[in-house]
Amino acid sequence: MKINKSTNLSLDQFINWALYDKDSGYYMKQNPFGKEGDFITAPNITRLFSEIITIWLVTFLKSLGSPNKFNLIELGAGNGEMMKVVYQTLKNFPEHFSSCNFMIYEKSKYLIDQQKINLESEKITWIQDLKQNYSEPTIFLANEFFDALPIKQFFKRQDDWYEKFVDLSNPKEAKFNEVKTNIKLIEEKLNLEISKGQDIVEYSPDALEYLNIIGNIIEKSEGGILLIDYGYLNSKMQDTLQAVNNHKYSNILENIGDSDITYNINFNLFQKFIDQFKNLDTVVTTQKKFLTSMGILQRAEIISKDITFSKKTDLFYRIRRLIDEKQMGELFKVMLIKSKNNKFQTGFQSD
């Protein structure tokens, strides 16, 4: 990878470069999803996941009055598998299917090409700018989108705060260093207090910018965002930065451009950020609770009546990956951001 003039990059600048450099960034030159990639997302484990998302979408549309026109935007659609199944499943609800403007927001030209091959539909459009005036209700789907965004990290040393940087003066021996910073100036810029009671501050400026854009769209035109990602609910922030290369955890500073770099979402921070919107509300639950309350096990039982025992065993093995507390069931959280005047709770009912 080519090095720009600056050899000392803030962590988020380094991650952005490693993942999204147009020539050699991780997401820009390959398909990281599926067996050949570094990870398999829920839509690629079983199509039932995306079918359940579609059933949830149909019930949410009813809470919006079943609009004659609405936008469905998937953020970062990977190999296009989830949108493919949502598209196919929504055909079973023709009134909603005909009302839907299907859109995908994607930065990677490589993945856009893969998605177009997988989807093969003239009804789906690709966009690269979310800042549009939507007159219709707009619903966003974000499955493992936010965890792939570049993050900043700050560490408290006694009474001072230091930001993590990456020294690339010798790319083959990249190393971390820290630069003293004024955390209060950062909080003023964010209009959000993030350092109180913290020893570590970890957040994505891009994530908050996306939430701001999406929040404004939902306030103006109704709709919501269903956000599914791995993360935690504690208010105390953690250092969750990690890299994956060839299905194994690896050193962040090795195999630059060939490793995925990711982190765990602090959903408490997302909730605090959305609280700044006067007319928006958030609800959050675990992936296990969401999928089971939406009937994924009952749906699997119906399907399994007409398949062989080996296929039935495989189906329930895949579902267990999604809902088992020791696998994705607890680690993954599901958040809905919607208008306060919409009391919709399907999939988020408390025990």
Name all domains of the chain by residue range, CATH numbers in brackets. 21-149+209-234+242-339 (3.40.50.12710)
**What pLDDT sits at residue 5?**
46
Find, among 206, 204, 224, 205, the residue nearest to 214 by Cα. 224
Q: What is the DSSP string of 41-73?
A: -HHHH-HHHHHHHHHHHHHHHHHTT--SSEEEE
**What pLDDT sits at residue 98?**
96
Find, among 343, 351, 215, the residue nearest to 275 by Cα. 215
**What pLDDT sits at residue 3?**
55
**What pLDDT sits at residue 350?**
64
Find, among 104, 148, 136, the residue nearest to 220 by Cα. 136
**What pLDDT sits at residue 142?**
97
10-residue mean pLDDT series, the chain (351 residues): 67 91 75 54 86 96 96 94 95 96 92 90 90 91 94 94 91 89 93 92 96 96 95 94 82 85 94 95 95 89 81 83 85 96 89 52
**What pLDDT sits at residue 6?**
58
- Portion of the chain with pLDDT greater than 90, in percent: 62
User: Full-prediction pTM beyond 0.75?
Assistant: yes
